[in-house]
Amino acid sequence: MNYFAGIDVGSTAIKVALVDEQGTLAGVHVTASGSLFHKNSTEALNTLLAKLGLQRDDVRYLIATGYGRKLFKEADDSISEITANAAGAFETGKAYGGVRTIINIGGQDSKAIRIDPTGNVENFAMNDKCAAGTGRFLDVAARNLELDLEELGDYHFQGDKAPLNINSTCTVFAESEIIGLLANGHGKSEIIAGIHYSIASRTVRLAKRVGVEDRVYFDGGPALNKGLVAAIQDELGRELLVPEYPQTTTAFGAAILARNDWQEENAG
């Protein structure tokens, strides 16, 4: 059996996805990027192969994507995150009746992509200048609030007070603002909900720049946070489609494109 791999070397996490000849997902693996991008990417791939009982030779074609993609030199090709994310969301979205707008929040950037009904990218916008609308903001907030990242989602729904306004437009200032709010006796839930709404309003502004159409797909690690999902839905006035594995959509897209490229080259 032939397999195809996508490896998304992200700023915060490395994601690997493997698909078979039919394009069916065989498995995914996620690990922290750390400082050794190449070593950690290689290990992530080997871990997934071992988990599935496969050898490196079973992978016929491998496409790298993401922030550190150029560092993974043994890839057969490397493509932009926009292309890979669009391909992954388009493919995953088919089961839900198709998607046209994609919101991706990563560790250090956020993106909005609009695709046409055949999956081609029509328009995209990116914020990579300001960490306030990204996963980094959530990481910093969790640390300040002495919570695990995974706990933020539940806290969002637990408060009986309205979400606080977080006014700082930069993560460093937001950090002091959070500490100030805690010092003034505000509860964690109202602060967390405020953070989620602050990220949500930035995200919705970004999405509106590309034009919001049809079903909106939300992916990237922060899509695992149900509180953030609720805040974005609220700000957007629409339901979001969050896939089963939101953090690996881009790696899955790269794997799908690896399969397509290989099949085209080996047709007939």
Q: Which of 204, 247, 253, 254 binds ligand ADP (CB under 6 A)?
A: 247
Distance CA 20, CA 60 (A): 10
- DSSP for 236-259? HTS-EE--SSGGGHHHHHHHHHHH
Question: Which residue's CB is nearer to ligand ADP, number 133 or number 163?
Answer: 133
Stretch that binds ligand ADP, among 41-49, 55-63, 89-97, 214-222 (CB under 6 A): 214-222
Q: Which helix (H) or strand (E) holds 13?
A: strand 13-20
Q: In the range 45-84, which residues lie near ligand ADP by CB under 6 A?
A: 66
Q: Which alpha helices (DSSP H) does 94-187 contain, by range?
A: 135-144, 152-158, 171-183
Stretch that binds ligand ADP, among 4-12, 70-78, 189-197, 234-242 (CB under 6 A): 4-12
What are the structure tokens assigned to 125, written together? 């916008």
Stretch that binds ligand ADP, among 37-45, 101-109, 169-177, 200-208 (CB under 6 A): 101-109
Q: Which of 164, 206, 210, 224 binds ligand ADP (CB under 6 A)?
A: 224
CB of 33 to ligand ADP, least distance (A): 6
Distance CA 41, CA 17 (A): 12
Distance CA 17, CA 20 (A): 10
CB of 81 to ligand ADP, least distance (A): 8
CB of 27 to ligand ADP, least distance (A): 17
Residue 243 engages ligand ADP in binding (rule: CB under 6 A): no
Question: Which residue's CB is nearer to ligand ADP, number 250 or number 262?
Answer: 250
Residue 11 engages ligand ADP in binding (rule: CB under 6 A): yes
Residue 40 engages ligand ADP in binding (rule: CB under 6 A): no
Residue 159 engages ligand ADP in binding (rule: CB under 6 A): no
Pairing of strands 110-115, 101-105: antiparallel
The residue number with the shortest CB distance to ligand ADP is: 221
Cβ within 8 Å of residue 191, ≥6 positions away: 141, 145, 164, 166, 178, 181, 182
Q: Which of 93, 159, 220, 253 binds ligand ADP (CB under 6 A)?
A: 220
Mapped onto helix, strand or coil, the DSSP state of residue 10 is coil
Is 11:106 a contact under the CB 8 Å cutoff? yes
What are the structure tokens assigned to 126, written together? 């990116």
Residue 128 engages ligand ADP in binding (rule: CB under 6 A): no
Binding stretches for ligand ADP (CB under 6 A): 10-13, 66, 106-108, 135-136, 138-139, 149-150, 220-222, 224-225, 247
